[in-house]
Amino acid sequence: MQHFQYYIDGQFLEGEARFDSLDPSTGKPWATMPEAREADVDRAVSAAYTALYDGPWPKLTATQRGKLLYKLADLVAANAQKLAELETRDTGKIIRETSAQIAYVADYYRYYAGLADKIEGSYLPIDKPDMDVWLRREPVGVVAMVVPWNSQLFLSAVKIGPALAAGCTMVVKASEDGPAPLLELARLIHEAGFPAGVVNILNGFGPSCGSALGRHPKVAHVAFTGGPETARHVVRNSAENLASTSLELGGKSPFIVFADADLESAANAQVAGIFAATGQSCVAGSRLIVERSIKDRFVALLKQKAEAIRIGAPLDMATEVGPLATSRQRKGIIDLVARSLDAGAVLVTGGKALDGDGFYYQPTILDCDGVASPSLVNEFFGPVLSVVSFETEQEALRLANDTVFGLASGIFTQNLTRAHRLMKGIRAGVVWVNTYRAVSPIAPFGGFGLSGHGREGGMAAVMDYTRTKTIWLRTSDDPIPDPFVMR
């Protein structure tokens, strides 16, 4: 059993309580984790608040902050394999994916290292004589960051990187499911030389840790990734401290395929879009909207590819789909598939939990044409694809927008003018055309509707962690007239 600690005010601590973390591939404990309670949260936020205004952090230049981020990026790159193995062990995400993703995470920290000294203010051509007015961008304050278990080193980098570049301090709450890689990241932050209290990393359960963090009076901003229901609690909590929020929430992303598309390419993208990460991705292309004339051919191609997927141990480089992260997650998928079949959806392939140890579930395709299937509106967060067909471009767009979510979308067509029409019409924060799941530190990422607000990635993310200060300077040496003397 491995033993992890959390990180507060530059120290690695045990906490008052501990709990076991389960290996999703076996369902058995593999490590013990510290469980943060309200007193731990208060200590962490107080450390971040002190570090924001006192000590070395506020005295550093933006360039010096950038150099610390560069050092962290190098440490992440040097330790990528260890971090990948920890994430795979604790969440069940396959090693071939965690290895590639975490190596790329270092580029996110490098990007924000370079942006640190490029956060600029502006001069206003004010309409009053003898006045100079300019705007400064300053750190928003102490940031509470709540990171889920899926892709957590990536989802923490898109928060930690821009917040540090902006000069904020922070408390990062790892998920109680699979917190090991984030707790290990704390060691790299410590080694990089960030002053004590600037970054604090802990983990715990919602009522005793997450709720206390979000409503803490010294928290100025909450950056949350998770589901809409939990986000509602986050927003209600923020009424206590009037903290601003950035929310990256769920998705039910449409994946539109026209008859003129390269079907082999589209099929490969669809398989990656729904079965990669065992479907546990907020951008999973879980709704296939396919032109009716090619539906049978395209679904048959997907069925063939789905049934050829190698399911196995996540630490095996040959494995293509691993287990779900928790038994709770698998139970929810089993129930939702059963309700969808009861509603009239037709099972194309999969649809079963695997026997034996671990939280495995088969890659599954449901034909939902003409059916009001729950699978079309509810986010599975698992390897389940729902299929509907369309006749016209207008019908495809209507089906794509028939959701309360609006995070990502995919369009596959060789018709450039059609692609441009759909790009404008789809209500989603990200539109991929003839590709899927592409990301970059340079490109903002975020959603519409119940998929949240705010952006991660690009300069837009830095703006979420700054606030504007307006400075007025009177340039005249003449005395200010007595306001009560009439002239």
pLDDT of 207 higher than 90: no
pLDDT one-digit tens code per residue, 83-112: 999 999 999 999 999 999 999 999 999 999
Q: Distance between CA atoms of 429 and 445, rounded to whole angstroms?
A: 7
Residue 176: the pLDDT is 92
Note if 379 is an active site residue: no
Once rounded to an integer, what is the mean pLDDT over residues 208-225? 95
210, 232 contact by CB (below 8 A) = no
Which residue is catalytic, options 176, 248, 320, 456?
A: 248
Q: Which pairing describes strands 2-3 and 28-35: parallel, antiparallel, or unpaired?
A: parallel
Supply φ then ψ for residue 2, to 5 degrees: -80, 155
- Give the model's pLDDT for residue 77: 97
Distance (Å, whole) CA 271 – CA 167: 40
Question: pTM of the full predicted structure?
Answer: 0.95
Helix or strand or coil: residue 469?
strand
Chain segment 270-303, per-residue pLDDT in tens: 999 999 999 999 999 999 999 999 999 999 999 9
Indicate the pLDDT class of residue 208, thresholds 50, 70 and 90.
confident
250 pLDDT exceeds 90?
A: no
HSE of 339, CA atoms in CB hemisphere, 13 A: 14
Which of 202, 226, 214 has the alpha carbon at shortest distance from 150?
Answer: 226
Q: What is the mean pLDDT of residues 348-374?
A: 96
Is residue 487 very low, low, confident or very high in pLDDT (cuts 50, 70, 90)? low
Is 310 a residue whose pLDDT tops 80?
yes
Question: What integer pLDDT is reported at residue 485 of this predicted model?
Answer: 86
- Residue located via tokens 């392939």: 349
Summarize pLDDT for 441-470 with one digit per residue, the tens.
999 999 999 999 999 999 999 999 999 999
Of 355, 267, 254, residue with least CA distance to 307: 267
Q: Which tokens go with 355?
A: 């026997």
pLDDT mean over 405-429: 97
- Per-residue pLDDT of 61-85, as tens digits, reads 999 999 999 999 999 999 999 999 9
Q: What secondary structure does DSSP assign to 94-107, as a single string?
A: -HHHHHHHHHHHHH
Structure tokens that stand for 103 in this block: 């190596």
pLDDT over 90 for what percent of the chain? 96
pLDDT digits (tens, 9 = 90+) for 106-160: 999 999 999 999 999 999 999 999 999 999 999 999 999 999 988 899 999 999 9
Q: Structural domains in the chain?
A: 2-249+447-472 (3.40.605.10), 254-433 (3.40.309.10)
Cα three-residue angle 32-35-41, rounded to 5 degrees: 150
Q: Are 351 and 362 in contact (CB under 8 A)?
A: yes
Residues in the chain: 487
What pLDDT score does 350 carry? Answer: 97
